[in-house]
Amino acid sequence: MGRRTIVLLESINALINKLGRYLLVAVFAFCLLCLFKIQILQGSAWDTPSFVLGGMGILVGIFLIFKLSQLKLSDRQALLLLTVLAIVFLSFWNFIFRPVPVSDYQVLLEGAHDIINGTFKAQAARPSDYFRYYNFQIGYAYYLSLLMRVFGERLLFFKIVEMLVMTGTTLVLYKTIRLFCDGHRAMFGAALFTFFPFTFIGVGIINNQHEGLLLEALAVYFVLKRRSWPNLLIAAVCITIAQVLRPTAVVVAIAIVVTLAIQAVQQKSRQRLLETVAFLVAFWGLGWLINQLFILSGIAPYGIKGGNPYYKFLIGLTGKGVSGKYTTSARKSQLYYDLKEYHFNYSLYKQAAAEKLRYVFTHGLDIQEIMKRFTGFIGNVDNQYNLGGNQPFLDQHPLLISSLNCSGMVIYASTILATFKRVITEKWVTSRISYLLPAMIFGMFFFAYIFMETQARYRFEQYYVLFLLAVPTLYGWLTKIQKKMFTRDCSEESR
């Protein structure tokens, strides 16, 4: 490698470091401001009982989890303990909450049933069918049909699978933190993730976020693990399957590619550059193959990768589609009414949607409306509990739900604050991939959702990488508090 090339790569690396650091500081400062404005200044979401109960839950819970993490356990013992804790706790919550499928998840189960009965193909080919204009949902419906063939249609078995999937995600989180931290910090982070309300509240809901996150977490783990061709191939397979189940996994895939490319520049390594290209080719090639298999099988006549990006951008930038009509049910969403306006002629709809997007950009965006929506996405309470379908439970236990939401916001805000502390003290963004990759994933989701449709529950992937970024700092804070308390107790006893 020539001298000029080395100098150029060093200059690019320095630029990436400086730009990356400034962007991360700005992103997490923005998140803190959103949380401060919505949760502190407005503050009307929590009445006194909810605040006290949620606050006590946090104090007691953090204390117990911190003490648990200080046990001297082997990795095997820690994984076994985490498995038992997660399964027992998630089973208890599901028994209490008893969610039932509603909205899109009810439609997905119906689609899975139709796949088994052999009636799905004809329905998915109809222009007005849900799985025609949301063809990216077919992958998850097919996955549910496989479960249905094995376990039958009893909702209990689907809930058990969801609990096992989230338990698996907890274990992967432990193993991932363990790559760059000791077992105490890994145990603390994984246990806190298990009892984090915004992850466990929705665990009994039929939700592609759970399976998608597990596969994304596995991809991140294998990328961060000792760099090798097999590990990168496994990561590519995991993230490709994740995209089949949940399209937003493409953001994680792009973050991995960009991270690997930055590492290649930072290390001035042709080997790293080849690994980047190999990951990208494997991800794209396997995704193309799966899409073709769905087409050849007839289950998805138009594939599973078409989607309607125009719709997502229109909703994100303007709050409504082409027709201006709003969603009335899962099967009759704004996109349904938009397509109906053009007699389900997809070509005409895309032309109209593209024209409206051009109009929006040329005649000015409503920045105030976009920021109102986006700051709500960052700082509002996660609303996934509304998808539980058990409205009587929500009506009968408002204090419990409000307290859980309060404690969830405290943990979420704490991870944001701890990460902010870390990004302002980290001088080099590219030096450690264990820091660069989670930060890249969070940042890419952050900027993507400025332009796209948002719901607070869409933060699901961001929670996971926040734990990867924040756990070392959070554990350090708790350790310092413990030392100060111990020192004070000793000094008082010596008097």
Task: Provide the percentage of residues in the chain whose pLDDT is more than 70.
Answer: 96
pTM: 0.93
Return the number of other C-beta atoms located less than 10 Å from residue 347's C-beta.
Answer: 8
Q: Is 431 helix (H, G, I), strand (E, B) or coil?
A: coil
Q: What is the pLDDT at residue 267?
A: 87
Tens digit of pLDDT for each residue in 259-308?
A: 999 999 888 888 889 999 999 999 999 999 999 999 999 899 888 876 66
- Lowest mean pLDDT across 140-154, 216-230, 305-319, 447-461: 305-319
| Helices 346-363, 334-341: inter-axial angle, 10-degree rounding | 110
Q: Which amino acid is at 308?
A: N
Contact between residue 216 and residue 239 where contact means Cβ atoms under 8 Å apart? yes
The Cα–Cα gap between 479 and 221 comes to 26
Residues 339-359: what's their mean pLDDT? Answer: 89
Residues 316-345: what's their mean pLDDT? Answer: 87
Q: Where residue 319 falls among pLDDT bands split at 50, 70, 90? A: confident
Q: Where residue 383 falls among pLDDT bands split at 50, 70, 90? A: confident
Domain spans of the chain, in order of start: 3-306+366-494
Please say if the pLDDT value at position 494 is more than 70: no
Task: Provide the percentage of residues in the chain whose pLDDT is more than 90.
Answer: 57
Tens digit of pLDDT for each residue in 228-249?
A: 889 999 999 999 999 999 999 9
Q: What is the pLDDT at residue 217?
A: 98
Tens digit of pLDDT for each residue in 198-209?
A: 999 888 888 899
Contact between residue 188 and residue 69 where contact means Cβ atoms under 8 Å apart? yes
If you write DSSP's letter for every residue of 73-115 in order, what string do you get?
--HHHHHHHHHHHHHHHHHHHHHHH-----HHHHHHHHHHHHH
* Residue 4 in tokens: 């000029």
Q: Where residue 492 falls among pLDDT bands split at 50, 70, 90? A: low
* Residue 387 in tokens: 């998808």
Q: Which amino acid is at 411?
A: I
Average pLDDT of the residues of the chain: 90
Q: Could you tell me the CA-to-CA distances from 264 to 178, 272, 326, 474 in Å, in that order?
A: 24, 5, 47, 31
Please say if the pLDDT value at position 72 is more than 70: yes
Q: Where residue 488 falls among pLDDT bands split at 50, 70, 90? A: low
Residue 276: closest CA among 289, 288, 258: 258
Q: Where residue 491 falls among pLDDT bands split at 50, 70, 90? A: low
| Helices 103-117, 138-151: inter-axial angle, 10-degree rounding | 60
Residues 161-178: what's their mean pLDDT? Answer: 96
Residues 58-79: what's their mean pLDDT? Answer: 94
Please say if the pLDDT value at position 27 is more than 90: yes
Q: What is the pLDDT at residue 218?
A: 98
Helices and strands (H, E) in the chain, number of each type:
22, 0
Which helix (H) or strand (E) is 11 found in, with range?
helix 3-35
Q: Which amino acid is at 392?
A: P
Q: What is the pLDDT at residue 423?
A: 93
The Cα–Cα gap between 9 and 12 comes to 5
Exposure b/e, 361-396, CB count within 10 A at least 16 = b: eeeeeeeeebeebbbebbbbbbebbbbbbbeebeee
Residues 365-379: what's their mean pLDDT? Answer: 88
The Cα–Cα gap between 167 and 86 comes to 6
Tens digit of pLDDT for each residue in 76-99?
A: 999 999 999 999 999 999 999 988
Of 266 and 42, which is predicted with more confidence? Answer: 266
